[in-house]
Amino acid sequence: MRNQMLGRCPICNSGLDVTRLHCPHCDTGIDGRFAVCKFCQLPPEQKAFAEVFIKCRGNIKEVEKELGISYPTVRNRLETLIESLGYQAQPVPKDDPEAREKRKQILEDLNEGKISSEEAIDLLREL
């Protein structure tokens, strides 16, 4: 079994360069300075989230189920991942269909007594 390649220095947390590549089939070695991919530099928990997100084809409801976390938590982790990859995160528009559906579900849960009014307020603020 091969070790997972490090993407960041364990001492100072700076990005690492790869300086040698090796082919185990023909024993060819290539020396140089090679950049590590953006995904390799992510912390393990962000790599795991990205893998689940891709596996679920970006369907936030499926990610919620797979990881057992709430919609706002999925959105927050996605925004953090986007920023970690060097992109500007975009705020979710209030007319976003998924956010609208989530607001509706929160209000239904409140109406049915599944959650308290304080919990509903907190959940709605997170959207």
- Tell me the mean pLDDT per 10 residues along the chain, length 127: 78 88 94 87 92 94 94 91 86 72 87 86 80
Residues 1 and 21 in one domain: yes
Q: How many angstroms separate the Cα of 119 from the Cα of each of 9, 28, 75, 114, 122?
A: 41, 60, 18, 10, 5
Q: Which of 86, 75, 3, 84 is nearest to 47 (CA)?
A: 84
CA dist 95 and 114 (Å) reads 25
Q: Identify whether residues 83 and 110 lie together within a single domain.
A: no
Domain that holds residue 97: 93-127
Number of domains in the chain: 3
What pLDDT is stored for residue 45 in this prediction? 93
Within this chain, do residues 121 and 101 fall inside the same structural domain, yes or no?
yes
At 55 the pLDDT is: 96
| Cut 0.85: pTM above it | no
For residue 21, the cross-strand partners are 30
Q: Are residues 21 and 47 in the same domain?
A: no
